[in-house]
Amino acid sequence: MSLDTTSEIEIIKVATSKIDQVDFETLSFGSVFTDHMLVCDFRNGAWEKPIIKPYEPFLLDPSAKVFHYGQAIFEGMKAYKIEDDSIWLFRPEENYERFNKSAVRMCMPEVPEHVFIDGLKQILQLEKDWIKKGKGNTLYIRPFMIAIGSGVIAQPSTQYRFMIILSPAKAYYSGEVKVLVAEHYSRAANGGIGAAKAAGNYSGQFYPTQLAHNAGFQQVIWTDDATHTKLEEAGTMNVFFRINDTLYTAPTSERILDGVTRKSLIDLARREGINVEIRSVLVSELVDAAKDGSLKEIFGAGTAAVVNPIVGFQYKDVYYELPKMENSFALDLKEKLTNIQYKLAEDTFGWTVEV
């Protein structure tokens, strides 16, 4: 995919930047936003001209379809600035393609490449001062689309708004993570929208995750909706299990998101000579491996944290603590992947793209 600009995008700059009011050393993830946002509306069957304008609230009709029928999708990406001040993206074509797959599943129009990619390039160039150098510093990118057409009849909207907003971020630390294996609630179902980055997937997790928090756990490992015997995802992340020296992760499906970090870790692990098996992992396998000591690691994989180690899990009121690993696959793979993202190691895969 080329990041060359192929169309003009109108740019309206803020009169005064708010960047000097931001303490970049104490950022709370996803709470501070840059000066500008990209907006592009779909009306009368076509995409209008994109515009980059000052970040601000906007008005919607109370009957907008997004409020009533949940037509909303999003992506999560990051931009990195290295020592020579160049700005890099990590596998942006994967996010672009997945965004449009989500759009199709939610009966929304696909966003053209010149809107998504050219728009992303131009807003990043405009906001380059918000991207700080140094490993751990990033600019989190949130492309999203909502249904803005009015009317409460239960049918797809005819009008949509695509936007990109940006949030400076520090390294994502969540502390020790203990998880509860789901026995009743499910993240997604066969034939559903689990493989789409649809807003409803995430709001549906809030209640069972809150129940887990109340019980002293930080996240839930979701199981399949039909039998609750297959391990699928951890919180909002894909999940890996290390049993002895083999990594296991579930295959993508209608229920499981095709994570960009997930597929990158699989390729990276195989390059490092780690055996990776992509197959359904049973809860019973996990419990047996924990009991006999062959379960070495569990970790989540996603854009925000990259890799999130899990220290233990509970199933049927029994808690299993994981061992402390000196040769942690999770930490080693995270280090190698982030070194590629920050151009501190050779990108033998061709994943990084300069803006």
Q: Considering only CA atoms, which of 198, 140, 131, 200 is closest in space to residue 164?
A: 140
Last residue of a domain, one of 154, 171, 188: 171
Distance CA 294, CA 146 (A): 46
Task: pLDDT band for 111, please (50, 70, 90 cuts).
Answer: very high
Do 192 and 107 share a domain, yes or no? Answer: no
Q: Could you tell me if residue 155 is inside a domain? A: yes
Backbone angles phi, psi at 113, to 5 degrees: -60, -35
The mean pLDDT value of the chain amounts to: 95
* Shared-domain flag, residues 115 and 197: no
Give the residue from 171, 201, 233 where a domain finishes: 171
Query: Same domain for 104 and 240?
Result: no
Same domain, 159 and 18: yes
Q: Is 299 part of any domain?
A: yes
Reply yes or no on whether the pLDDT at 174 is more than 80. no
Question: What domain range includes position 265?
Answer: 178-341
Q: Domain ends where: 138, 171, 204?
A: 171
Residue 78 is part of a domain; what is its CATH number?
A: 3.30.470.10
State pLDDT tens for residues 131-161: 999 999 999 999 999 999 999 999 999 999 9
Name the least confident of 83-87, 187-191, 244-248.
187-191
Q: Are residues 271 and 315 in the same domain?
A: yes
Residue 184 and residue 333 in one domain: yes
Residue 323, domain CATH: 3.20.10.10
| Residue 252 DSSP one-character state | P
What is the average per-residue pLDDT within 94-122? 97
Do 236 and 309 reside in the same domain of the chain?
yes
Answer whether residue 349 is part of any domain: no
Q: Does 197 share its domain with 294?
A: yes
Q: For residue 288, give the 3-state DSSP assignment.
A: helix
Residues 40 and 158 in one domain: yes
Regarding whether 182 and 166 lie in a shared domain, the answer is no
Inside any domain, residue 39 = yes
Percent of the chain at pLDDT > 90 equals 93
Say how many domains are in the chain: 2
Whether residue 259 sits in one domain with residue 131 = no
Q: How confident is the model over 202-222, as a mean pLDDT? A: 95
Q: Which residues contact 344 (CB under 8 A, 6 or more apart)?
A: 135, 338
Which range (33-42, 172-181, 209-218) has the least confidence? 172-181
Looking at residue 6, its pLDDT comes to: 44
pLDDT of 5 strictly over 80: no
Calculate the alpha carbon distances from 229 to 114, 171, 175, 280, 315 in Å.
44, 34, 28, 10, 11
Q: Do residues 119 and 238 both lie within one domain?
A: no
C-alpha 274, offset from chain centre: 25
Q: What is the pTM of this model?
A: 0.94
> What is the band of 175 on the pLDDT scale with cuts at 50, 70, 90?
confident
Find the DSSP H helices in the chain.
65-69, 92-105, 113-126, 199-214, 260-271, 283-292, 329-341
Residue 44: left if φ>0, alpha if ψ -120 to 50, beta else—which one? left
Is 354 within 8 Å of 88 (Cβ atoms)? Answer: yes
β partners of residue 77: 141
Question: Is the pLDDT assigned to residue 281 strictly greater than 80?
Answer: yes
